[in-house]
A and B are shown apart, each in its own frame.
Chain A
Amino acid sequence: MAFLRSLLPYFTFAAGYLVVAMLVENSYYQLIITLVLVWASFGLSWNMLSGYTGLISFGHASFFGLGAFATVLAQIHLGWSPWIMLPVSALIGALAGVLIGLPTFRLRGHYFALSMLAYPLAMSYVFQWLGKPEITIPRVLDHPALFLQFEDRRVYSVLALLLLTVIVVITRWIERTRFGMSLVAIKQNEAAAEAAGVDTLRWKLKAIAVSGAIAGAVGSFYAVVILVITPSSVFGMLVSAQALTVAMFGGVGTVWGPIIGATVLIPIAETLHAVIGSYLPGIQGVIYGLAIIILIIAAPEGVFWKGVDLIRRRRVPAAGTVPSGAGGVSRAASVEPAGGASPASRISDRIMLDVRGVSKRFGGLRAVRNVSFQVRKGEILGIIGPNGAGKTTLFNLLNGFQKPDQGQVLLHGSDLAGCRPHFACRAGIGRTFQVMRPFKRWSVANNVKVGAYVRAASEEEARAIAREAVAQVGLSAISDRPASALTTKQLRLLELARAIAGRPEILLLDETLAGLGSEEAKEVVAVIRTLAATGLTILIIEHTMQAMVQLVDRFIVLDHGQLLTEGLPEAIVKDPRVIEAYLGAKWAAHA
């Protein structure tokens, strides 16, 4: 029900659009009305992959062009109706998506974007070489409707609107489920998503398959509407650019972006072309280009997000200046004495994690050398050492970001060394990062929900787990607030909540106190302690010795990748070898 209600604005738009489309008699304007919908749909296809995962594709013309050529060629050579080819083109698009995605997803950032550009251009030349410089859909005289040919051009607008509606519903549905959430998690931080149990490659392949399917179908429909296609008109760079222009102009990562973008830009471009193109060829390109330049400088993230930000700013006059620590945190802090149960009662004798002789080298650098240690259930283990001692690398070996060259990581006796991070997460190892990258526009609750998917079978369950995790770190009072409005301390707590939403047995905390003042650090320490009281085993990397000495049960000290020593906090802070590693030999003599 809530899903349908969320589509209400769209249906209002669609109804209004339909009325306008029905009133237009002129066939040229009717074509513009159809094309707006076609490009909006294509923009949504692009948005499905690039808007949600953040992997910018310059190559969506591949899928579009394949759909268009398949449809026209099938009618010419096989006599197949476009009605059949519409779904077939979607299949072709999905298949092409997976085939292109498999090798290309190895690349990131600019490399991905530019590689995607190469596919449609290569295809374009191949089709040209095959002797298809220009092909036309043959006119059908008997039962033209069976071949998607209509005298009344308004029919095309209605069909395009149906196509768009299907795509909008699919997009909205994906947006609201773990599919969409996982994609956005990949966008905000692929590493963190993997660590939170998201199988990133699988979701990316699914996204490009859906995206390719939509683009294939849209390309197929476009060919039917436009009748004549050439390799450059369906595979060309301007086709791919059209998808990203409408989506980025309107706003990326929302179903509304491409619709707004197409509704504004396509009529402007086409009208300019029709009205002044004949007097001064090219002037429409200049005006269109100028319009894009001016708008993107005024609203760099697109019209939709600009609007959202304006409205939000009006509603919450000073979101950023709301006093920090509102609500729950102080409560969590006050629970501290009860939560800080004596270590003896908290720690059991059971060995939780048994690290045996792990090593990792990067070229000549031996980042981790033959490190072994054990962690008991419920224990809080501090990992200290100077910069470059191999602390973060050790964490990477424990949760699967890197594969150790030697050694074992035994969790409950089974070896996790070298398995992928999302698998380690499922096995019970959660983790936070030095660098925080929450999804800024999402609420606290939704940010945490991503972490819960690995344990939850349904949306409901994920929401419940997330709610519980948010309460555990004391952020319940602000769980609806967007992450962009949080303080550093609240963001650290948010990361903690996301990690515990995966219901880990072992939590790896990488410099969770970095950037916090001493009062704030105390509050976060209090929260960590309450988590430990629930039986969670915690490994923490930290530089702030003061906070650490109060928090941990035991330290291990790393230096130059080797385990220097381990022991109780009181012993460690007095150990001359530790002081030497941190401050140099001169100071060790004073200690």
Chain B
Amino acid sequence: MTGTQIIIESILQALAAGVLVGAIYGLMCVGLAMIFGIMRVINFAQGDFMMLGMYAAYFAFTALGLQTVFGAVPGPYVAVAIAGPLLFAFGYAVHKFLIRQVTGMRTIAMEAEGHYAQLVLTLGIALVLQNGAMILFGAQLVSLRTPLTGQAWMLGPMWGDAVAVFLNQAKVVAAIVSVVIIAGLWLCIKRTRLGKSLRAAADNPEASVYVGIDVDHAHRIAFALGSAITAVAGGLLATNHPFHPFVGLDYVIVMYAGVVLGGIGSVIGAFWGGMTIGLVQQLSILVLPTQLQNATIFVFFLLIVIWRPQGFFGRVTERT
């Protein structure tokens, strides 16, 4: 195997890993985009909603006995499918009882339109969730392992049997599920009445009220849906990544970076933003030490945002 072949192989391997991780990041970002893009609320607890989704899937799989009913391979994915609705309900309740108090129409009179209050409120929620999870579930690492986690498909060998790319099967399945969910969601937003009211509420909440859209309700659905999607992304991630109660902190930044890169308010943009983050993270390993993997994400994020503040898919909507 020549030097060139080694380089080609590592590039291909990093690209494949980037696309697979990027698809899951993309799904996470789409979940956040539903909340951040539509309500313009910075939810610091988003990562912790994801963590709840991971545990929900984990306990559905182990304690509910899905393992025995559905078997070891499809079981975890059924568990992930259960985590979605659970977190939908959770997000719905959090918005109804907490977030609503500091968002929407009642913030018009507040300083900075209530941003300060939203930040502290969601920080408080994040603290409760992280520490509550530690008390209930313990601090040790757990994972939603499937037999697929340990298996890989091999692409190749190519180039005279020298170059081969390995694709972890759990990651491939997770990436495919992510893309399918996003496609479905995209159709919903474009086609359905609910989707249209969500887009209207995102574009101009005040005008939406005047044309008879229940913005408060639209926001609540968006918040719940965003929580559910992020939870599903978390569950999929858990099939190939062990996790713990504080895992949310690692990903909340990735999510925001992805959403901002894609352009606030654009759901499809958020997916590509997440994909970009995944690729940058994996490709950086080729030239930089592993410890700087995440630093690369942030530097890349800063460069892009300063160069193009509206993101890849965003529009400039500043008015005097």
Using CB atoms and an 8 Å cutoff, list the residues of chain A in contact with chain B.
Answer: 54, 56, 103-104, 106-108, 110-111, 113-115, 117-119, 121-122, 125-126, 128-129, 187, 191, 237, 241, 244-245, 248-249, 252-253, 280-286, 288-293, 296-297, 300-302, 305, 392, 396, 401, 433, 440
Q: Give Cα A187 to B116, complex, Å.
A: 13
Chain B, Cβ-Cβ closest to A434: B320
- Which B residues are in CB contact (< 8 Å) with A187? 112
Q: In the complex, are the beta carbons of A285 and B127 less than 8 A apart? A: yes
- Which A residues are in CB contact (< 8 Å) with B249? 237
In-complex Cβ contact of A401 among B121, B127, B130, B320 (8 A): B320
Q: In the complex, are the beta carbons of A300 and B114 less than 8 A apart? A: yes
Chain B, Cβ-Cβ closest to A288: B127
- Which B residues are in CB contact (< 8 Å) with A300? 101-102, 107, 110, 114, 116-117
- Which B residues are in CB contact (< 8 Å) with A291? 124
Task: State the Cβ distance, A270 to closest chain B Cβ, in Å.
Answer: 15
- Which B residues are in CB contact (< 8 Å) with A285? 127-128, 130-132, 134
Task: State the Cβ distance, B109 to closest chain A Cβ, in Å.
Answer: 8
Q: Give Cα A39 to B299, complex, Å.
A: 28
Q: In the complex, are the beta carbons of A290 and B110 less than 8 A apart? A: no
Q: In the complex, are the beta carbons of B98 and A297 less than 8 A apart? A: yes
Q: In the complex, are the beta carbons of B124 and A293 less than 8 A apart? A: yes
Q: In the complex, are the beta carbons of B102 and A297 less than 8 A apart? A: yes
Q: Give Cα A103 to B121, complex, Å.
A: 29
Chain A, Cβ-Cβ closest to B311: A111
Q: In the complex, are the beta carbons of B124 and A396 less than 8 A apart? A: no
Q: Give Cα A113 to B112, complex, Å.
A: 13
Q: In the complex, are the beta carbons of B131 and A103 less than 8 A apart? A: no
Query: Digit string of B90-107 for contact with A (CB within 8 Å is 1, else 0)?
Result: 000000001001100001
- Which B residues are in CB contact (< 8 Å) with A283? 131, 135
- Cβ contacts A to B, 29 pairs, < 8 Å: A56-B116, A104-B306, A106-B306, A107-B305, A110-B42, A111-B309, A114-B42, A117-B256, A118-B298, A118-B301, A119-B298, A119-B302, A126-B292, A129-B295, A244-B123, A245-B120, A248-B120, A281-B134, A282-B135, A282-B245, A284-B131, A285-B131, A286-B127, A286-B128, A289-B126, A296-B120, A296-B124, A297-B102, A433-B320
Q: In the complex, are the beta carbons of B306 and A107 less than 8 A apart? A: yes
Chain A, Cβ-Cβ closest to B124: A292
Q: Give Cα A291 to B293, complex, Å.
A: 36
Q: In the complex, are the beta carbons of B294 and A248 less than 8 A apart? A: no
Chain A, Cβ-Cβ closest to B132: A286
- Which A residues are in CB contact (< 8 Å) with B320? 191, 392, 396, 401, 433
Q: Give Cα A300 to B127, complex, Å.
A: 18
Q: In the complex, are the beta carbons of B111 and A301 less than 8 A apart? A: yes
- Which B residues are in CB contact (< 8 Å) with A286? 127-128, 131-132, 135
Residue B167 CB within 8 A of the other chain:
no
Residue B3 CB within 8 A of the other chain:
no
Residue B291 CB within 8 A of the other chain:
yes
Q: Give Cα A122 to B298, complex, Å.
A: 6
Q: In the complex, are the beta carbons of A282 and B132 less than 8 A apart? A: yes
In-complex Cβ contact of A289 among B42, B117, B125 (8 A): B125
Q: In the complex, are the beta carbons of B98 and A293 less than 8 A apart? A: yes
Q: Give Cα A132 to B128, complex, Å.
A: 31
**Number of residues of chain B lying within 8 A (CB) of chain A:** 53
Q: In the complex, are the beta carbons of B299 and A122 less than 8 A apart? A: yes
- Which A residues are in CB contact (< 8 Å) with B139? 281
Task: State the Cβ distance, A340 to closest chain B Cβ, in Å.
Answer: 31
- Which A residues are in CB contact (< 8 Å) with B212? none
- Which A residues are in CB contact (< 8 Å) with B217? none
Task: State the Cβ distance, A180 to closest chain B Cβ, in Å.
Answer: 16
Q: Give Cα A300 to B118, complex, Å.
A: 8
Among A121, A249, A300, max chain B CB count under 10 A is at A300
In-complex Cβ contact of B253 among A121, A284, A396 (8 A): A121
Chain B, Cβ-Cβ closest to A123: B295
Q: Give Cα A228 to B126, complex, Å.
A: 26
Q: Shortest 6 CB-CB distances between A and B: which pairs?
A: A285-B131, A289-B127, A292-B124, A300-B117, A125-B295, A289-B128
Residue B289 CB within 8 A of the other chain:
yes
Chain A, Cβ-Cβ closest to B292: A129
Residue B57 CB within 8 A of the other chain:
no
- Which A residues are in CB contact (< 8 Å) with B132? 282, 285-286
In-complex Cβ contact of B117 among A128, A248, A392 (8 A): A248
Residue B175 CB within 8 A of the other chain:
no
Residue B54 CB within 8 A of the other chain:
no
Query: Digit string of B31-49 for contact with A (CB within 8 Å is 1, else 0)?
Result: 0000010001010100000
- Which B residues are in CB contact (< 8 Å) with A129? 289, 291-292, 295
Q: Give Cα A106 to B249, complex, Å.
A: 27
- Which A residues are in CB contact (< 8 Å) with B134? 281-282, 285
In-complex Cβ contact of B115 among A56, A241, A249, A289 (8 A): A56
Q: Give Cα A245 to B40, complex, Å.
A: 20
Q: Give Cα A107 to B316, complex, Å.
A: 12
Q: Give Cα A126 to B260, complex, Å.
A: 23
Residue B19 CB within 8 A of the other chain:
no
In-complex Cβ contact of A252 among B36, B116, B135, B264 (8 A): B116
In-complex Cβ contact of B306 among A103, A108, A121 (8 A): A103
Q: In the complex, are the beta carbons of A241 and B292 less than 8 A apart? A: no
Q: In the complex, are the beta carbons of B135 and A280 less than 8 A apart? A: yes
Chain A, Cβ-Cβ closest to B303: A103
